[in-house]
Amino acid sequence: MGAPTDEELSRPPMWRFWRALPPKGKAGVFFGSWYTSPIVDRVYGSIHGSELTRSLASITRFERMLVDEGALVVKFWMHLSKKAQKQRFRELEKSPGTAWRVTDQDWERHRRYDRFREVSEHALRETSTSEAPWNVVEATDRRYRNLTVGRLLLQMLQSRLAGRHKTQVRGAPPPPPPIDARDVLEEMNLSESLSDAQYEKKLPKAQGALNALSRRKRFLEKRACVVVFEGPDAAGKGGAIRRVTAAIDARRYDVVPIAAPTEEERAQPYLWRFWRAMPKHGHFTLFDRSWYGRVLVERVEGFAAEADWMRAYREIVDFEDSLVSAGIVVVKFWLQIDKKEQLRRFRERQKTGYKRFKITPDDWRNREKWKAYERAVCDMVDRTSTSPAPWHLIEANDKKWARVKIVQTLADAIEASL
Amino acid sequence: MGAPTDEELSRPPMWRFWRALPPKGKAGVFFGSWYTSPIVDRVYGSIHGSELTRSLASITRFERMLVDEGALVVKFWMHLSKKAQKQRFRELEKSPGTAWRVTDQDWERHRRYDRFREVSEHALRETSTSEAPWNVVEATDRRYRNLTVGRLLLQMLQSRLAGRHKTQVRGAPPPPPPIDARDVLEEMNLSESLSDAQYEKKLPKAQGALNALSRRKRFLEKRACVVVFEGPDAAGKGGAIRRVTAAIDARRYDVVPIAAPTEEERAQPYLWRFWRAMPKHGHFTLFDRSWYGRVLVERVEGFAAEADWMRAYREIVDFEDSLVSAGIVVVKFWLQIDKKEQLRRFRERQKTGYKRFKITPDDWRNREKWKAYERAVCDMVDRTSTSPAPWHLIEANDKKWARVKIVQTLADAIEASL
């Protein structure tokens, strides 16, 4: 992991590590890692101690997620005394075949050895967790070092394969009883609507505002936007997405429909497929369904184990936090319709030739689980509506109302970020 | 397809288009395409007429490959007269909501309208093939334009789905009888060998040379290297790769083992998985087996239809040409062992605990097809050994000989490119 490329620089710092994660069945060797930049930044004083602490806490949660998703995370810290390091550099510099390996930066950092040691020791203490402990290896003697690394690796692989590893313990605690959760959907006034005349006036105005914001210098250089569309079948997600994209330069958005994951995606942690679609500066990614599938369909249909969807709330909040910290505006829409309106739309779809493909037996089956889905939605809103990335509940029985509110909300969110 | 990112700039020009190709079952809409840069470069005089002709010929072959791989390629050229273009720009500039769409560059290009028209007409004529014809649409009237585009698209989709499309006709012509092909492998002197003392001396020397070349400024900034390793099972590809990688900075190479393609890879043209692994400037990609699987295992085992592996020779030569033109050094090794040596190695593998995993029933089955593989290898060398990307046949009965020759050949090839 050398210097980041410009594609990497225009995305959240963790993007390049997600990009390089090994799929199931493979080993990824990271030479330079998510620890490098927090430690170096702290040594050189470009971040405060509290920022380092926050980084380390977020690393701890990232690694826990990897372990919960089935990865074995093995961390080696090769220790060399200041004296031994100097000697090693001198040795390498002597031979023309190895002299290139010692750079000015290496010597510069050598001069800060004590400070590096101090910060690194702190980092190691904070991140040596039971699920991903540090192995500190004395590296002065090459043979001892190599043998020790090999032995430790073998031992950790054996222990993991023998199943001496308990995921359940680290699962999220059971959810507290919902307090106001049920009310969230029930309190919505689904009779909100717009007349054709209001719609014809308000929609272009909101789209114009969104368009102007999307071309602002600060947005193009420092911001990006992730929009999540969730809602029951036939809630109008597709139509709303088209009203958003109509306002954005076609070269600057992607619409990502989320269906069953591909084989490559299944071989990675479940958030991997979303990371790979993250927009660079000045760009939008619109998700037609999203990572919330984990706590909606996967929960209700039992595709994910309880411990897995339970820990997802926390993982999702971490994920969205890391997007927001990197300047990505995260806007999440839940489009709500009532059961009667859904039936009306299903029947209409069956009557209209070019809409018939949209309705499948799955849609009718999901409908039978309406209550279970409502419960899952309420828990989701309760646990993942954060101030940097709140849920916006959209009354969608009237499509016109929903579309205008969505475009306006999105424009407001971007404006607030600039 | 706006301005290329630095990751895109440090790879062959077609890389970004391969990156954006839609998988089977999806439509990719390219706004800006592989035509943009040749036309613009020609208008502004940064390339000669002959270079344009070569670009257009290579585009024609690229599109034919897409069609042969199952894609429907629909090309629209929206025609606007100089007067109508001026009027359209003026109209857009009048309203603050659309004025941003007209840039200084647009006006600048408008002034060169006649030259653009001349070059574009030439490009259209040269690239309007039976498999991917141009549709020129008069774009002055928006409604006429939109309806025409929709109708043409529908018509082409219908026609393609009705099967009015003959791939076979465009397959490569049947191979001429091999002239010297069979001799290529037979003429090799497989008894070449090195003593331990020679090996201990020559290998580090060759590795040192390779290392020094890999750090040369010109290599880091303008070159990259793709190395292909092919050969029968147990020919020593893995061991040879480790001797190469030992000489290169670990941050600057990738080893890509080629086995069965993943689901995402199967949904793309067969060269796609190799394009995705292309190294950026200063980097190496080492392929343990490669795109030549198409004309080796897929041919011999009947996984690819004859028309498909036949056209692959030409497609591969085009592919490697485009890598070489972009500054990538392409080095291809065929490691040859005899049937007796293979048997000896198979037996040794079965005896050695940590090597046993390397030998599978497939290896024994492939062995029975030795003659058919030899025939395929000779055809391959005959048809794909080009002067910018020749095959290097390596006598590999003696591993020491093979490893030294490989590292030396690679160093020589990089040196010649600098």
Lowest mean pLDDT among A325-339, A391-405, B83-97: B83-97
At residue B79, does pLDDT exceed 70? yes
At residue B284, does pLDDT exceed 90? yes
Lowest mean pLDDT among A178-182, A261-265, B204-208: A178-182
| Substitution target from B100, B273, B276 for chain A, most A beta carbons within 10 A | B100
Cα–Cα dist B402/B252, whole Å: 24
Among B174, B168, B188, residue whose Cα is nearest residue B377: B188
Q: Determine which helix (DSSP H) or strand (DSSP E) holds A342, and give its type and residue range.
A: helix A339-351
At residue A167, does pLDDT exceed 70? no
Residue with tokens 């009965």: B397
Residue A180: predicted pLDDT? 55
pLDDT greater at residue A303 or residue A352: A303
What is the pTM assigned to this prediction? Answer: 0.86
Query: What's the start-to-end Cα distance of chain A, in Å?
Result: 31
Read off the pLDDT band of B113 (50, 70, 90): very high
pLDDT greater at residue B183 or residue A346: A346
Q: Which residues of B touch A263 (CB under 8 A)?
A: 262-264
- Average the pLDDT over A182-191 and give the result: 85
- Name every residue in A having a CB less than 8 A away from some CB of B: 1-2, 5-7, 31-32, 97, 100, 208, 211-212, 215, 250-251, 262-264, 280
The neighbouring-strand residues paired with B314 are: none
Residue A252 burial (CB count, 10 A): 19
Contacts of B145 (CB under 8 A, 6+ apart): B78, B137, B138, B139
Residue A179: predicted pLDDT? 54
- Average the pLDDT over A401-410 and give the result: 98
Cα–Cα dist B332/B406, whole Å: 10
At residue A297, does pLDDT exceed 80? yes
pLDDT greater at residue B90 or residue A352: B90
- B7 vs A2: CB contact, 8 Å cut-off? no
Which of A6, A97, A100 lies closest to B5 in CB terms? A6
At residue B64, does pLDDT exceed 90? yes
Residue B398: predicted pLDDT? 97
- Domains of chain A, by residue range, sit at 33-170, 181-417
Q: Which residues of B touch A219 (CB under 8 A)?
A: none
The class of domain A181-417 in CATH terms is: alpha beta
Which of A2, A97, A264 lies closest to B264 in CB terms? A264
Chains A, B: CB contacts within 8 A come to 38
B123-160 pLDDT per residue, tens: 999 999 999 999 999 999 999 999 999 999 999 999 99
**Complex ipTM, two decimals?**
0.80
Give the nearest chain A residue to B6 (CA atoms).
A6
At residue A164, does pLDDT exceed 80? no
Residue A169: predicted pLDDT? 47
Mean pLDDT taken over chain A: 92
Residue A2: predicted pLDDT? 79
Question: Domain A33-170, what fold?
Answer: Rossmann fold (3.40.50)
* A399 CA: distance to closest CA in chain B (Å): 25
Q: Do domains B33-170 and B181-417 have the same CATH topology?
A: yes
Q: Which residues of B touch A208 (CB under 8 A)?
A: 97
B290-341 pLDDT per residue, tens: 999 999 999 999 999 999 999 999 999 999 999 999 999 999 999 999 999 9
- Average the pLDDT over A284-301 and give the result: 96
- Name every residue in B having a CB less than 8 A away from some CB of A: 1-2, 5-7, 31-32, 97, 100, 208, 211-212, 215, 250-251, 262-264, 280
- A208 vs B97: CB contact, 8 Å cut-off? yes
Residue B176: predicted pLDDT? 54
Strand A134-138 relative to strand A328-336, pairing:
unpaired
- A97 vs B1: CB contact, 8 Å cut-off? no
Q: Which residues of A touch B212 (CB under 8 A)?
A: 97
CA distances from residue B58 to A11, A343, B65, B162, B243 in whole angstroms, order as listed: 34, 54, 11, 29, 36
Among B131, B115, B132, residue whose Cα is nearest residue B34: B132
Q: Which residues of A touch B264 (CB under 8 A)?
A: 262-264
Which of A2, A215, A251 lies closest to B100 in CB terms? A215
Percent of all residues in chain A with a pLDDT value above 90, rounded to a whole number: 83
Q: What residue ranges in A238-307 does DSSP mark as E strands?
A: 253-257, 284-288
A95-139 pLDDT per residue, tens: 877 888 899 999 999 999 999 999 999 999 999 999 999 999 999
CB B49 within 8 A of CB B20: no
Read off the pLDDT band of B353 (50, 70, 90): confident
Which of A100, A264, A280 lies closest to B263 in CB terms? A264
3-state secondary structure chain B: CCCCCHHHHCCCCCHHHHHCCCCCCCCCCCCCCCCHHHHHHHHCCCCCHHHHHHHHHHHHHHHHHHHHCCCCCCEEEEECCHHHHHHHHHHHHHCCCCHHHCCHHHHHHHHCHHHHHHHHHHHHHHHCCCCCCEEEEECCCHHHHHHHHHHHHHHHHHHHHCCCCCCHHHCCCCCCCCCCHHHHHHCCCCCCCCCHHHHHHHHHHHHHHHHHHHCCHHHHHHCEEEEEEECCCCCCHHHHHHHHHCCCCHHHEEEEECCCCCHHHHCCCCCHHHHCCCCCCCCEEEEECCHHHHHCHHHHCCCCCHHHHHHHHHHHHHHHHHHHHCCEEEEEEEEECCHHHHHHHHHHHHHCHHHHHHCCHHHHHHHHCHHHHHHHHHHHHHHHCCCCCCEEEEECCCHHHHHHHHHHHHHHHHHHHC
A286 alpha-carbon distance from chain centroid? 14
A244-289 pLDDT per residue, tens: 999 999 889 999 999 889 999 999 999 999 999 999 999 999 999 9
Residue A183: predicted pLDDT? 73
- A251 vs B100: CB contact, 8 Å cut-off? no
Residue B172: predicted pLDDT? 52
Read off the pLDDT band of A367 (50, 70, 90): confident
Read off the pLDDT band of B169 (50, 70, 90): very low
Read off the pLDDT band of A157 (50, 70, 90): very high
Residue B165: predicted pLDDT? 57
Residue B180: predicted pLDDT? 55
Percent of all residues in chain B with a pLDDT value above 90, rounded to a whole number: 83
- Provide the phi-psi class of A163: left if phi over 0, else alpha when psi is between -120 and 50, else beta: left
A335-364 pLDDT per residue, tens: 999 999 999 999 998 888 788 888 888 888
Torsion of Cα atoms, A187 then A189 then A190 then A191, to 10°: 150
Q: Which residues of A touch B1 (CB under 8 A)?
A: 251
Residue A323: predicted pLDDT? 96
Which of A6, A32, A263 lies closest to B6 in CB terms? A6
Measured in degrees and rounded to the nearest 5, phi and psi for residue A41 equal -60, -40
